[in-house]
Every structure is written in structure tokens, then in C-alpha cells.
Amino acid sequence: MSSTTSPTQVDHLIVGAGFAGLAAAIKLDEAGERDLVVIEKDSDVGGTWHINTYPGAECDVPSQLYSYSFALNPDWSKVYSPQPEILEYIRKVARDSGTLDRFVFNTAVLDSTWDAATQRWNVRTEGPDGPRVYAARTVVSCAGGLSEPRVPEIEGIDSFAGEIFHSARWNHDVDLTGKRIAVIGTGASAIQLVPELQEIAGHVDVYQRTPNWVIPRNERKFTSLEKTAFRKVPGLQRAARSAVYSTLEGRVPAFAKFPDLLKVVEAQGKKNIHGAIKDPELRAKVTPNYRAGCKRILISNKWYPALAADNVDLVTDPIVKITANGVVTADGTERPIDVLVVATGFYVTEPPIAEHVTGKDGRTLADLWNEQGMAAYKGTTIHGFPNLFQIVGPNTALGHSSIIFIIESQVKYVVEAAKAMRREGIGAFEPTLSAQDEWTADIRQKMKPTVWQTGGCASWYQDKFGNNTTLWPGQTFTFRQHLTKFDLDKYDVEPVSAPVKKTRAKKKVSK
């Protein structure tokens, strides 16, 4: 279809086919909201778990909880699942859901513009069949907070003559055996991939700007007896899931109110260092000088042993430039390399996608958020951007538990909103500015005593104004309580101006 043909009318346009987009499709479909399309820029479902294929990629939240509540999986191989297993799980849930016929792959959203006259979003896409326009009653943005790789702006990085790639865009065509490799970054991705590289590379230089607290990973395989029991004993797996949930939730008071309690984690981190590293200089280099939890606490049994290996150097002198052959640090040393891996994270507080979303007064989301930082009512809806839902929006990410719990909470809110639109004959809704401002002010207040604000580190949780616009500063069940009902009294609402297709609820996809 060419862009000159009339737009495709659709009730709900979901952007992104990761955990969030798939949950939105399944739950809207179950509620009878069948007229939906999921646009995905990649070739498959999975989102971050489809894209992040770097060696050693695994989840650092136990899979009993890092999975949908409505699709428990008795077959997880171990406590923390590797990326291929999580991807296969998402694929299976997608296949079983009966919604895949409405997924459009290899298609990018170019821009979305609110049209007040039709009470729809005009969403331009570009896919294998060329450009297309959807006119959608609602847009559910599930593009992910960690989807746009951030490549560091280091002088000369474009002049590097060897292979260079980001951890989230791994180039599997490059044979790394015996190579001299530099890895920039020591975050959650780097600590997983460096031990794998150490085993096959000739030499690895790891460039660390700030050390992280890394505690042991209590990993183990599930026995076949456990898997059978999860499958056969009613309620057992749900009880196991609840136990994981409660354990992780039990840590929230330390993060949110009593950061000094996190000294316990620092003791675990120091023990982890001392167990693997003998060299006092290296021990000192990897020991953080801020409160544990201020940056994400990482878990690994392999990171420190890898740093202590003979073929690995941890470089803490700042990088000043990159040449055609290697990396130059402030002390003037140039370390030659064949391959440069940038494990430098993502655009989180200034998501590039916001530049392409234009609200009712003609301003983009990026215009708004550049002025005042990211903000959304209940992390989900935004004043000036009617009928738009941000899944994993501002202040909904977690430093302690499974983001899928948050995703399911937000998706419930989306479904409740869709029901309210039909029940009340609503054509357009947006949160009132006062409701959104009150919500944001409350978050800022709650954020003040947290370790993310007081812990003495710089982190990507914070935006350029110094506000933590990324994390939810409390218990996840509190977040869920806030989103159980679609609270119409906090919204400016317009009646529908054109007839809307009928719906019929269908049987739930749940186990």
C-alpha cells in the first residue's frame, strides 16, 4: 500500500513486540479488543531478548518471576534463564496466544501525530511493502526503555579500522578467537560478556569508568523432579513465584528508605572481590566508593575471575581518543586492538522515539520532556498526548524486581481504559495537568530518601536535571494498586465523534 492511499483504521496500535507489546496484544484480545495491530521493527517477537544476543546474555531476575503471571513455565532450566531460553518462551507464548496474525514485523514506526478531528493517531510506518499509515484510536507504546544503544562520543571512534559493535548489536560474523579486544563499559551487559570473551580472546582490555557492586549469583539448575512437580502439583509453581516476589520485595525498604542497610550488600560484594582477586591494586580498582544500590546491583560469579585472568587488563585511565588501531588513554598509552565492543548502555532518559510523537498542540514528546524531564500520569498516560499509553514509561522501571510485574499492571490499566472508552462513549482522553503534576511531585518526594538519590553515584536513572525519572520508588504492589482501575475523574474526556466497532470478550489465555 502506498502512503497516498487512505489510512488503515485500527482500534489499537501497539508499537513493539517484546514482553510489553505481546502482553498488551494478549490482554486486549482477551477483553474482546480484537481490532489491534502490533508493529515491530525487528523480524520476530522478543524485544530486548531478540536483540541482545551477546555471549553470556542471561537474565538477572529469577525466571519464576521474570515471566508472565498468565503463562507460567515449568520447564525453566535454571534459576536465572539464558537469553535463548527466554526468547523461546516469548515465542511460545506468542504462538499459543492466537494473536500473531496481527503482528507486522520488519516495520518501523516513522512518526505518530494526534489528529483531533478524527480522534485518532496517524501513525506512519515503513516496512517491506513500503510506507503505510494507520489511523488508530489508541497507541500503546511498548518500545522499551533499553532499546536505543548509546554509542559513546569519543574522539576518533569513527576512524577505528577494526570491527566495532555495541553489546546490543552483536556481530556474530566476527570470529573473536585469539583476537585483541577492547570492551568499553562495566555494566550489566559487560559483566556477562567479558567472561565469555576472556575464554576465547588473545587479550581483553576492559575500560572501566566506574566500578559496580557485583555480588554472587546464586545459580542452580532445576532438577527434573522439580520440573515435574511444577507441572503436576497444583499451585506449587505459583507458590515458588510468590516466594521469589516476596524475597525481592523485602529489599525495597533498604533501597527506598534505609540505604545504610545496603552495607550488607557491600560486604557481599567485597567478599566476592576478595574471593577471586588477589592483586590489591586490582581489588582497589574494582571496589566502588558509593552506596550499593545507587547503581544497579549486579550479580556474577564469573566477572572478578575474568578480570583476574592473565589475558585481561582492567584499564581505569580515562579514554581520550580512539585511533584506527586502538584506544588511547589520558596517560598517553595506546593499546592496539582488533575488535572494539561498546557495552555503554542505552538512551533511557531522552528516548529518541519521543522526537517522533506529536501531541495535540503540535509539540513532540521530546520537546516537552527536554524542557522538564520525562513525566507521565501513573507512568502511563501523558497530558497533551490523548489516547496514548507508555508501557514502562517514566518512573516505572525497577532496580530490584521483575519489570514484567510492572508491564502487566500497566497493561491492565490499558484494558480498563479501552473498556471505559466503549462503556462511556469516549473518543479522546488525557490526564489533567494537575493530576499528572501531583503524581510527579509525589514521586519526586518519595525519591528523596532513596539510595538512587542519596547513594553518591552518577547513574543513568537520573536525567539532566538530576531527577530520577526512571525508577519506581517503592513497592511494586503499590504501583499495581494505583493502576487497578482506570480513574476517569483524573482525565479530560471528549465524547466519541465517530462510530466505533463492536467487541466481544474471549476466553483468557491463562494456565
Residues that bind ligand NAP (CB under 6 A): 58-60, 146, 152, 154, 167, 184-190, 207, 209-210, 296, 319, 343-345, 460
Kindly state the smallest distance separating residue 209's Cβ from ligand NAP, in Å: 3
Min separation Cβ 191 and ligand NAP, Å:
8
Quote the least distance from Cβ 192 to ligand NAP, whole Å: 6
We find the least distance from the C-beta atom of residue 365 to ligand NAP, in angstroms, to be 22
Nearer to ligand NAP, 139 or 319 (CB): 319
Q: What is the SS3 assignment for 127?
A: strand
Nearer to ligand NAP, 141 or 192 (CB): 192
- Shortest Cβ distance from residue 339 to ligand NAP (Å)? 17
How does DSSP classify residue 348? -
Query: For residues 223 and 404, what is the distance between their CA atoms, to the nearest angstrom?
Result: 25
- Sequence-separated (6 or more) residues with CB below 8 Å from residue 175: none
In the complex with ligand NAP, which residue's Cβ is closer, 167 or 396? 167
Cell of 349: 532518559
One-letter amino acid of 484? T
Q: For the sheet containing 326-329, what is the strand order?
A: 319-322, 326-329, 334-336
Do the Cβ atoms of 259 and 451 come closer than 8 Å?
yes
Return the number of the residue (60 or 487) whose C-beta is nearest ligand NAP.
Answer: 60
Round to whole Å and give the CA distance between 96 and 90: 10
Contact 39, 109 (CB under 8 A): yes
Closer by beta carbon to ligand NAP, 27 or else 217: 217
Are 42 and 51 in contact by the 8 Å Cβ rule? The answer is yes
Cα–Cα distances in Å, from 334 out to 318, 337, 476? 12, 9, 47
Task: Please report how close the Cβ of residue 487 comes to ligand NAP at its closest, in angstroms.
Answer: 29
* Whole-number Å distance between alpha carbons of 462 and 444: 12
**CB 352 to ligand NAP: min, Å:** 16
| Host H or E run for residue 26 | helix 19-30
Give residue 436's region: left, alpha or beta (phi > 0; psi -120 to 50).
Answer: alpha
| Of 262, 263, 344, 269, nearest in space to 301 by CA | 269
Q: Pick the closer one to ligand NAP by CB: 60 or 494.
A: 60
Q: How far apart are the first and last CA of the chain?
A: 39
Which is closer to ligand NAP, CB of 398 or CB of 428? Answer: 398
Backbone φ, ψ for residue 493 (5° rounding): -130, 140
Residues with Cβ < 8 Å from 273, sequence gap 6 or more?
214, 283, 286, 287, 304
The secondary structure element, H or E, covering residue 428 is strand 426-431
Pick between residue 329 and residue 475 the one whose CB is nearest to ligand NAP.
329
C-alpha 47/C-alpha 34 separation (Å) is: 22
Q: Which is nearer to ligand NAP, 296 or 378 (CB)?
A: 296
CB nearer to ligand NAP: pick between 133 and 397 = 397
Nearest partner of 63 among 46, 47, 48, 79, judged by Cα: 79
The nearest distance, CB 207 to ligand NAP, in angstroms, is 6
What is the amino acid identity at position 214? V
CA distance linking residue 393 with residue 290, whole number of Å = 27
Phi-psi region of 76 (alpha: psi -120 to 50; beta: other; left: phi over 0): beta
Query: Based on CB atoms, which residue is closest to ligand NAP, 186 or 436?
Result: 186
Alpha-carbon distance of 503 to 31, in angstroms, equals 8
Residue least distant from ligand NAP (Cβ): 187
Q: Least distance from C-beta 217 to ligand NAP, angstroms?
A: 10
Contact yes or no for 378/490 (Cβ under 8 A): no
**Smallest gap, in angstroms, from Cβ of residue 225 to ligand NAP?**
27
CB of 385 to ligand NAP, least distance (A): 26
Considering the complex, state which of residue 186 and residue 349 has its C-beta at the smaller distance from ligand NAP. Answer: 186
Cβ of residue 194: shortest distance to ligand NAP, in angstroms?
11
